[in-house]
Amino acid sequence: MENIVFPQGFLWGAATAAFQVEGATGVDGRTDSIWDAFCRVPGKVVGGDTGEPGADHYRRFEQDVALMKELGLKAYRFSIAWPRVRPDGGKVNQAGLDFYRRLVDTLLAHDIVPWPTLYHWDLPQKLEEAGGWTERDTAFRFADYATATVEALGDRVGTWTTLNEPWCSAFLGYAAGIHAPGRTEPAAAAAAVHHLLLAHGLANDVIRSAAPDAKVGITLNMYPIIPVDPGNPADLDVARRLDGLQQRIFLDPLLRGEYPADILADLEPFGFGEHIVEGDLGVISAPMDMLGVNYYTEHYVSSSPNGSEAAPSPWIGVQHASFPRRDAPRTDMDWEVRPDGLTAVLLRLHHDYPRIPLYITENGAAFRDDFSGSGAIDDVDRTGYIASHLRAAHTAIRAGVDLRGYFCWSLLDNFEWAEGYAKRFGIVHVDYATQIRTPKMSARWFSRVARDNALVAVS
């Protein structure tokens, strides 16, 4: 067997997000987030599912942390719910902060590194009613929320992530309308991009003042965007635009202090530049300590309007992009399994945006688990997915990439946004009726990887 050993101190963890696992949406002072409201709109979420019951993590976190310990996880990536800490985006709610203090203390007592994200898409609905991320003021409300959170937890949290996948918040939420708040206004998505980045920058500053030793980063979703015909200028241009809107529009201001010129030009019709106030880019590009990378698949793109999948609407201003199907294994999300793309993403970051330490903050797969028979779940496909991506990550490390950790998505089966509870990403199965947790084969296998700090054969 090939010996795949990870660098010493490599951080092995699993991830969740508040709205996806907590449940308990109406307790201890929490008010609606945009996802609570979105779930009530008929037809938006498969099965009409909502944040209830979730995996009831709010009430069962002690049991869940004990399970993480049993699995030998070294870190837990979770998100903090803004509508618990500052319901309606308003006053601080001590009960909300107390929950996260208990969670963090329980993790620390089990020697598990807490890895909180401040924003995993649950904007207080009240703030959306005031314009949401299209409003500059929302970035300042986010900084207020970050202040309250870091003042409460800053003495026990070493690494903070500001935002999770701002691309989804801006483009899926405000242009495509398939995520909350469900708006389909391209100019609103453009405004949201800048205000999310500003929110990150303001929060970075707040965290540094309140907890000077803390490390700060952001998590982005990254995909190689591959033109179908690299000899066709139109395909190349579509790939450029999509890469610009998906990746460079975030990476460049964060790590180079400027928006990419081509994307500024592409977004001119949507009034993007009007939101950028002098000094903003300095705030946004203040140094970070790490970049989180969420990786699931690649995008294979064509300029032809006749591709087998229509151009989806989040890519504002892009005409005729299509995403042809290739002959590849796919997950239950219908996403191609493309481990090499992870190596490519990591190498690209290493070359184009050097010197920032990287962590894979999400990677994993939805598959239909067979839970009949013996009560064991032999999720060979999920185990294989994670194993192949760990090999791909290791290839990048061997090529010199400063990759320091890997969090699988997800610890628990959970609410998969517009897909509701129909898709299962957990390495631990959750029976939503009984809330019984059952580690799948992938969890047992991942546990050995974490223990050995090395990849072992799938058994």
CB of 339 to ligand FCB, least distance (A): 16
| Single residue of 17, 152, 153, 157 touching ligand FCB by CB under 6 A | 17
| Tokens 């229509």 sit on residue | 310
Question: Which among 22, 128, 165, 298 is annotated as catalytic?
Answer: 165
Contacts with ligand FCB by CB under 6 A: the residue count is 12
CB 150 within 8 A of CB 210: yes
Q: By C-beta, is 228 or 365 nearer to ligand FCB? A: 365
Of 46-54, 151-159, 162-170, 342-350, the segment contacting ligand FCB by CB under 6 A is 162-170
CA nearest 439: which of 4, 114, 108, 14?
A: 14
Of 43-51, 160-168, 346-354, 434-442, the segment contacting ligand FCB by CB under 6 A is 160-168
Q: By C-beta, is 6 or 223 nearer to ligand FCB? A: 223
Q: By C-beta, is 10 or 417 nearer to ligand FCB? A: 417
Query: Which residues in 391-450 contact ligand FCB (CB under 6 A)?
Result: 409, 416-417, 425
CB 41 within 8 A of CB 7: no
Question: Which among 128, 336, 362, 416 is annotated as catalytic?
Answer: 362
CB of 10 to ligand FCB, least distance (A): 22
| Single residue of 31, 117, 125, 164 touching ligand FCB by CB under 6 A | 164
| Single residue of 128, 165, 243, 252 touching ligand FCB by CB under 6 A | 165
CB of 120 to ligand FCB, least distance (A): 6
CB of 416 to ligand FCB, least distance (A): 5
CB of 311 to ligand FCB, least distance (A): 20
| Single residue of 280, 362, 369, 379 touching ligand FCB by CB under 6 A | 362
Q: How distant, in Å, are the alpha carbons of 195, 254, 274 from that of 277? A: 11, 16, 8
362 annotated active-site = yes
CA 339 – CA 295 distance, rounded (Å): 9
CB of 310 to ligand FCB, least distance (A): 21
Of 142-150, 164-172, 186-194, 244-252, the segment contacting ligand FCB by CB under 6 A is 164-172
Q: By C-beta, is 359 or 425 nearer to ligand FCB? A: 425
CA nearest 308: which of 322, 293, 287?
A: 322
Q: By C-beta, is 93 or 246 nearer to ligand FCB? A: 246
CB of 55 to ligand FCB, least distance (A): 13
Q: By C-beta, is 49 or 280 nearer to ligand FCB? A: 49
Q: How distant, in Å, are the alpha carbons of 213, 240, 338, 342 from that of 364? A: 31, 27, 12, 12
Of 104-112, 161-169, 208-216, 256-264, the segment contacting ligand FCB by CB under 6 A is 161-169
Q: By C-beta, is 128 or 416 nearer to ligand FCB? A: 416
CB 116 within 8 A of CB 161: yes
Confirm or reject binding of residue 115 to ligand FCB (CB under 6 A).
no
CB of 97 to ligand FCB, least distance (A): 23
Q: What's the chain look like in SS3?
A: CCCEECCCCCEEEEECCHHHHCCCCCCCCCCCEHHHHHHCCCCCCHHHCCCCCCCCHHHHHHHHHHHHHHHCCCEEEEECCHHHHCHHHCCCCHHHHHHHHHHHHHHHHCCCEEEEEEECCCCEHHHHHCCHHHCHHHHHHHHHHHHHHHHHHCCCCCEEEEEECHHHHHHHHHHHCCCCCCCCCHHHHHHHHHHHHHHHHHHHHHHHHHCCCCEEEEEEECCCEEECCCCCHHHHHHHHHHHHHHHHHHHHHHHHCCCCHHHHHHCHHHCHHHHCCCCHHHHHCCCCCEEEEECCCCEEEECCCCCCCCCCCCCCCCCCCECCCCCCCECCCCCECCHHHHHHHHHHHHHHCCCCCEEEEECCCCCCCCCCCCCCCCCHHHHHHHHHHHHHHHHHHHCCCCEEEEEEECCECCCCHHHHHHCCCCCEEEECCCCEEEECHHHHHHHHHHHHCEECCCC
Q: By C-beta, is 93 or 161 nearer to ligand FCB? A: 161
CB of 18 to ligand FCB, least distance (A): 10
Q: By C-beta, is 168 or 178 nearer to ligand FCB? A: 168
Contact residues toward ligand FCB (CB under 6 A) are 17, 20, 164-165, 168, 221, 294, 362, 409, 416-417, 425
Residues designated as active site: 165, 362
